[in-house]
Structure 1
Amino acid sequence: MGKYFGTDGFRGEANVVLTVEHAFKVGRYLGWYFGQEHKARIVIGKDTRRSSYMFEYALAAGLTASGADAYLLHVTTTPSVSYVVRTEDFDCGIMISASHNPYYDNGIKVINKKGHKMEAEVEEKIENYIDGVTGELPLAAKEQIGRTIDYAAGRNRYIGHLISLATRSFKDMRIGLDCANGSASSIAKSVFDALGAKTYVISNEPDGLNINQNCGSTHIEVLQEFVKEKKLDAGFAYDGDADRCIAVDENGKIVDGDLVLYMCGKYLMEQGRLAGNTIVTTVMSNLGLYKACDKIGMKYEQTAVGDKYVYENMMNNGFVLGGEQSGHIIFSKHARTGDGILTSLMIMEVIMEKKQTLAKLCEDVKIYPQLLKNVRVTDKKTARENPAVQKAVEDVAAALGSDGRILVRESGTEPVIRVMVEAATDEICRQHVEQVIDVIRAEGLEAVQ
């Protein structure tokens, strides 16, 4: 974790934490860094936040001032920037988005030429330039000054790529899409319409202030009601930059990332296309997923929380499917990052090829009740390694046996210990979470509010 760049880019409230000056300097550095041996080509995408426009212009100004050409995809998804960068020989890509955060936040995510998150050492160099550690950079002059290029064609090629992945027409399928008033608004409906679905769309009218506002994957209850009201076959909800997808079955029941991993993993395994018969999950995946996998002989890996860690494991081991409960799902044959619209297409492939409803495809997974509570502490490491806390965790694990599990971990971004229990009932979860939190408090480890 750097000073400005966290696990998901440089993010914060627009013009408070993340300013236009920051964006300009990010552009200045990247234009210079990639332009030392040739004229740099860098592609920029943005979500629908009002502040995305000023950051787009500031980044473009910095890039062109350093001599780079800036290609503007305009409103598009994070995975589309990743796709365009790696398929069209750009030096890097930049996505302006704060994902599922409220409209007043924004972020700058830098993507390398392979379509992955930019290496930490490059982000550190950008931070040093922002802070004046590396001194001033030369400005381009005369014919060396860069230009901006309208590159909506790149987004259109990405849409064509998505459409090309479908194995069957979606004719006669009634599908609901919740575009979160975000990036998916410019893409999702076009894809499903082209594939023949009868498409019903909500939260598809962004005004710069309504992104993620009571809609999208973080407010899935809206789509649940919509699917039931319209009697749809399935629904898909995206987040602000459309790199995650949460589905809803025909009964209005949530199909989260764990269920997507199960149904897609099982289908790929039956097809002989699941490398190592293994899916990659994080430690937050539900115990019910693992028990269902055990029954069908599907193996699984566990990583730390974060799609970055999932992807690293997949690349290191050649796995093709991985993701998070939150709906970041990576199909590495087709993408280098979580892609919400791609995920919905892969779910549709399973529905169409197996000729089964979404509810039927997920019925073998019994999701265990899960309770997560955060405790603000004075020192995370001290709290986590406290002998009395460790004893309490061991006692809970022993009491739960194979019918549940406890996970206690440090937050990566806050002075917080997260205590999570999965068990047969909500009451058992509550009892055991409080049991551990009581010990943390009794040991004097909780921060004074």
Structure 2
Amino acid sequence: MIKPLDSSIIIQESGIHFGTSGARGLVIDFKSDVCAAFSLAFIQVMQKSFNFERLAIAIDNRPSSPNVAAACIAAAKSVGIEVDYYGVIPTPALAVTSMEDGVPAIMVTGSHIPFDRNGLKFYRPDGEITKEDEISILAVSAVIPSFEVLPLPSVQRRATENYLVRYLSIFSANLLKGKRIGIYEHSSAGRDLYVNLFEKLGATVVTLGRSDSFVPIDTEAVSLADIEMAKNWQCDYQLDAIFSTDGDGDRPLLSDETGNYLRGDILCLLAAQYLNIEALAVPVSCNSSIEASGAFNHVKRTKIGSPYVIAEFEHLMKSSGRVAGFEANGGFLLGSDIDVNSAKLTALPTRDAILPVLAVLAMAGKEPISNLVKQLPHIFTASDRIKNYSREQSLLVIEKGLSEPLQLLSQLGLGDVNVVKHDVTDGLRMTLNNGEVVHIRPSGNAPELRCYVEADSENRAQELVRLILNNIENMQV
């Protein structure tokens, strides 16, 4: 039993912080009282704007997620809120059903970060919480009554079924007929659901790489081992594509017929074209081919993180009927209801892995996926990260770039170029006089420095990001 305490004090002392995608921290810091503090603060903030008697909760496959969920459920029940528990499902599947029901939701997930960390992602009855909601959750003084953490309740299947119906209702049962699709299951929260979905759409499914241990797949920085594994699988099984996601199933990976993974923003750019999207909100880290393609009436650049993308939707919908957004990690956010194949697809303003993948497969038809990519402007992006690099160190590198740009470029091994434009929307994005782009920012979820570059060839982009990160690691800041 836990004694009554104040949520704001517990949260402040917990070591758990909001990043670009929910509250994240070390597993050891997600103690029962901390989980309760976040849950009850969230409930109290939501009760100021919405009437509800239930809360939806789901989890990813992390070893720590069941215990975190059990504490959240116990806290909710201690203040008279019943819980619909959906077990291990993708984050967007939870969002689809909680929005349909008009109830708030909590997804227990750390997404792609290592298994020694976890997180809580919060949903209002009408979608993701805003940055203003985050501030309110941290500030509110919710009283935590005594409660007892009990075993998890029985899993309800309705959210899984709703998510499947969402896409089976707009795509033909023959969409993937004749296609061999590999599904890299690893420890993804949607690994069982995806097999069912792709088979119902006519594909021959080959399951790959299932793991009983948590695998931290980062769709924005795919490891060399995963890249090589995909190419080997394609050769071994003669696959038309390989599909996978990050840990909680809101960021996709899709390979072409050669086993090469498409970058998330390229995948989503193609999907947005197929869906006839008119206006886009995308983070500053996304590939410049979005504008260069000329496919959209309006493109708004934002800070990195889905809340910033979503915040632009209301403005864009004042002048455009078909609005969406996406991130460099491939998560696609549908900002407005649209018609797809003469059927209505309702807005889902949170990252989703399934819609962009099915859209691109539908767009390709019987043609190779690589042909779609070749038709886009030839602007190539590469990205990677330095792990265990503090936010303070990252900010010092950025400050150097603002105050002494030529000196920073020299230290990065780029002494023969100049900065013609810089963008500080999120970190430091430098456009160079040779047309290349270097973007440096601290991660919002972990102690990491991320680097994104653009160049006129894939090899040059990969070479450039390696050069920059190697030199940053050796810098004295």
Question: In the alignment, is the contact (CA less than 8 A) between 1:26 and 1:62 conserved in 2?
Answer: no
Alignment of 1:198 with 2:204, yes or no, is yes
Query: Deviations along 1:42-79, whole A, 9 cap, x unmatched?
Result: 00010111111111111110000111001101111110
- d(CA) in 1 for partners of 2:112 and 2:205? 24
Q: TM-score, length-normalised on structure 1?
A: 0.79
Is 1:155 aligned to 2:177, yes or no? no
More divergent stretch after superposition (193-202 vs 212-221): 212-221
Q: 1:173 to 1:217 in 2, by over 3 A?
A: farther
For 1:203-248, what per-residue CA distance to the aligned partner results, in whole angstroms no more than 9, with x for missing partners?
34x53x3333799984442333212321111121111000011210
SS of aligned partner of 2:76: helix
1:355-385 CA deviation, whole Å, 9 max, x = no partner?
A: 4221111112334364667683574674343
Q: Tell me the amino acid that sits aligned with residue 25 of structure 1.
A: A
Rounded to whole Å, the distance in 2 between the matches of 1:416 and 1:53 is 27
Return closer, same or farther for 1:213/1:381 CA change in 2, 3 Å cut-off: closer
Aligned residues: 419
2:379–2:456 CA contact under 8 A, matched in 1: no
Equivalent residue, structure 2, for 1:285: 286
Looking at structure 2, the residues matched to 182 and 440 of structure 1 have their Cα atoms a distance apart, in angstroms, of 31
**Residue 11 (structure 1) aligned to one of 24, 28, 47:** 24
What are the equivalent positions in structure 2 for 1:139-178 lying under 5 Å apart?
150-169=155-174, 170-178=176-184
The equivalent residue for 2:456 is: 424
Residue equivalent to 2:265: 258
**Structure 1 partner of 2:33:** 21
Evaluate the alpha carbon distance shift between residue 424 and residue 410 of structure 1 in structure 2; reply closer, same or farther with a 3 A threshold: same
The answer to which of 158-167 and 248-257 deviates more is: 158-167
1:181 aligned counterpart, secondary structure: coil
By how many angstroms is 1:176 displaced? 1.1
Secondary structure of 2:29 counterpart: coil
One-letter amino acid of the counterpart of residue 201, structure 1: T
More divergent stretch after superposition (335-344 vs 399-408): 399-408
Correspondence for 2:371 among 347, 357, 360: 360
The structure that is helix-richer by fraction is 1
What is the 5 A alignment of 1:69-148? Answer: 69-90=82-103, 92-116=104-128, 118-128=129-139, 134=141, 136-137=143-144
1:179 Cα offset (Å): 2.6
Task: Determine whether 1:211 maps to 2:215.
Answer: yes
- 5 Å-filtered alignment, 1:307-386, equals 307-318=306-317, 319-332=322-335, 333=337, 334=346, 335-352=348-365, 355-365=366-376, 366-368=378-380, 370=382, 376=393, 379=396, 382-386=399-403
CA distance in 2 between partners of 1:241 and 1:378 (Å): 29
Q: Distance in 1 between matches of 2:468 and 2:242?
A: 39
Is residue 396 of structure 1 aligned with residue 418 of structure 2? yes
Q: C-alpha distance in 2, partners of 1:414/1:389?
A: 29
Cα distance between partner residues in 1 of 2:283 and 2:26: 28
DSSP 3-state at the match of 1:336:
strand
Whole-angstrom distance in 1 between the partners of 2:105 and 2:66: 16
CA contact (8 A) 1:388 1:439 kept: no
Per-residue CA shift, 1:309-338, capped at 9, x if unaligned?
Answer: 223233420353321222112233442111
Gap change, CA 1:121 and 1:159, over 3 Å in 2: same
Following superposition, the deviation at residue 193 of structure 1 comes to: 1.4
Does the 8 A contact of 1:384 with 1:417 survive in 2? Answer: no
Contact 1:384 1:410 in 2 (8 A): no
User: Which moved further from structure 2: 320-329 or 2-11?
Assistant: 2-11
- The aligned amino acid for 1:126 is I
Aligned to 1:405: 437
The question of whether the paired residues in 2 share the 8 Å contact of 1:261 and 1:321 is answered with no
Structure 2: stretches of 5+ with no match in the other structure: 1-11, 338-345, 421-430
Once residues 412 and 211 of structure 1 are traced to their aligned partners in structure 2, the CA distance between those partners, rounded to angstroms, is 20
Give ranges in structure 1 of 5+ residues lacking alignment: 141-146
Q: Which moved more, 1:234-243 or 1:257-266?
A: 257-266
Over 3 Å counting, the alpha-carbon distance change for 1:384 and 1:414 in structure 2 is farther
Shift of 1:99: 0.5
Cα separation, 2, equivalents of 1:242 and 1:235: 15
Out of 58, 67, 70, the position equivalent to 1:57 is 70
Following the alignment from structure 2 to structure 1, what is the Cα–Cα distance between the partners of residues 329 and 30? 25
* From 268, 274, 277, the counterpart of 1:267: 274
Sequence identity percentage: 21
Q: Report Cα offsets for 1:55-112 as digits up to 9, x if no partner.
A: 111111000011100110111111011111111121x100001001122221111111
**1:216 and 1:238 in contact (8 A); partners too:** no
Which residue in 2 is equivalent to 1:143? Answer: none
Going from structure 1 to structure 2, the CA distance change for 1:34 and 1:138 (only over 3 Å counts) comes to: farther
Deviations for 1:251-281, whole angstroms, at most 9, x for unmatched residues? 112212232133223334xxxx322xx4443
One-letter amino acid matched to 1:317: L
Matched residue SS, 2:349? coil
Corresponding letter in the other structure for 1:255: L
1:203-242 map, 5 Å? 203-204=209-210, 206-207=211-212, 209-212=213-216, 218-219=222-223, 220-221=226-227, 222-242=229-249
Q: In the aligned structure 2, how far is the partner of 1:214 from the partner of 1:151?
A: 29
Following the alignment from structure 2 to structure 1, what is the Cα–Cα distance between the partners of residues 248 and 330? 13
Specify the code of the residue in structure 2 equivalent to 1:181.
S
- Deviation larger for 151-160 or 63-72: 151-160
Secondary structure of the corresponding residue to residue 165 of structure 1: coil
1:150-180 Cα deviation digits (max 9, x unpaired): 4322322222222212145122211111133
* Contact 1:32–1:67 (8 Å) recurs in 2: no
| CA distance in structure 2 between the partners assigned to 1:157 and 1:73 by the alignment | 12
